[in-house]
Amino acid sequence: MDGPGGSGKSTVAREIARRLGLRYLDTGAMYRAVTQVALESRIDIEDHNAVAELAERAVLTVGTSPDNPAIAVNGEAVDDKIRTRAVTNAVSAVAAVPAVRRRLVARQQQIIAEASPVGIVVEGRDIGSVVAPHAPVKVFLTASTEVRALRRSHQLGEKGIDDVARTLAELDRRDVLDSTRAADPLAIPDDAIVLDSTALSVQDVVDEVLRHCERVSARAS
Which residues contribute to the annotated binding site for ATP? Answer: 3-11
Q: Which of 200, 189, 185, 178 is nearest to 139 (CA)?
A: 189
Tell me the C-alpha distance between 16 and 135, whole Å.
15
For CA atoms 37, 41, 47, 52, the dihedral sign is: negative
DSSP E strands: which ranges in the chain? 23-26, 60-62, 71-73, 76-77, 120-123, 139-142, 193-196
Q: Which amino acid is at 15?
A: E
Other beta carbons within 10 Å of 46: 11
Coil, strand or helix at 26:
strand
Binding residues are 3-11
Q: Between β-strands 71-73 and 60-62, what pairing exists: parallel, antiparallel or unpaired?
A: antiparallel
Coil, strand or helix at 59:
coil
Q: Between β-strands 193-196 and 120-123, what pairing exists: parallel, antiparallel or unpaired?
A: unpaired
